[in-house]
Amino acid sequence: TGAISSLQRQMEIQESELRKIRSEKEMLQKQLREQEVQVQAVSDKFCSLTEEQKQEEVMVMMEEENRYLRQVVTEQEAQLAEQKQLISELQGTVSQLRAEVVTTRLQLLEQKQAQKEMQSQAEALQHKELQTRVALERISSKFERYRSKIIQAIFSVEGSQDPLAELTDDEVLEAMQKIINERTEFQQMLKYKGSK
């Protein structure tokens, strides 16, 4: 947004300079018209003189006026050429600034779109995380129930004593292994004696 504002300010400055140059051009053209009017007035003034005086003075004045006018025209042509070149440069700069404004706006739109997509992905991840937590809690609950049943089965065996404190997983596994080993030994002993 700051870049767009800066570019728009530059465009306004360039357009202001264009208006100023065009105004100066119009003023120069107005001066030319005024000088043409003055020449006409001088011409009318000498209509009242004698023919010879008219011709002499008109020739002198025309030569002076022509020199002056040629100088003015040369200066004005040079100024107009400079102004045309400056106008062309300013128009190029304005076009470039407009293109930069369009590019900057497109970049902002792309950034907003990317931000929306990232936000959507973040929301999807949060939803997935919530589902995973729920599933984990469900699995943990099932595991705890299963563990409780195993402990209950282990210590419901005849001759077993209830645990004095909460058992670790290793202790539960050790107790299960002990029961399995005892049953395996008992089965081996029965087979050895020939009992079914």
**151-178 confidence digits (pLDDT tens):** 777 777 666 666 667 778 788 788 788 8
End-to-end CA distance of the chain: 90
Q: Which residues contact 108 (CB under 8 A, 6 or more apart)?
A: 1, 4
Given a contact cutoff of 8 angstroms between Cβ atoms, the answer to whether 108 and 2 are in contact is no
pLDDT band for 126, please (50, 70, 90 cuts): very high
CB-based contact 171:151 (threshold 8 Å) = no
Same domain, 29 and 91: yes
Helix %, strand %, coil % for the chain, to 5?
A: 90, 0, 10
* Claim to verify: residue 171 and residue 183 sit in the same structural domain: yes
Show the domain range for 66. 1-120
Query: Coil, helix or strand for 193?
Result: helix
Band (pLDDT 50/70/90 cuts) for residue 93 is: confident
In this structure, are 69 and 145 located in the same domain?
no
Do 108 and 176 lie in a common domain? no
- Average pLDDT in the 93-116 region? 91
Query: Within this chain, do residues 179 and 86 fall inside the same structural domain, yes or no?
Result: no
Q: What is the pLDDT of residue 129?
A: 94
Task: Decide which of 120, 136, 151 is a domain's last residue.
Answer: 120
Cβ count within 10 A of residue 97: 20
| Same domain as 136, residue 109 | no
- Count structural domains, the chain: 2
pLDDT digits (tens, 9 = 90+) for 30-85: 988 888 888 788 777 766 656 666 677 778 878 888 888 888 888 888 988 988 89
Q: How many of the other CB atoms lie within 10 Å of CB of 175?
A: 19
Which SS3 state, helix, strand or coil, does residue 150 take?
Answer: helix
Q: Are residues 11 and 53 in the same domain?
A: yes
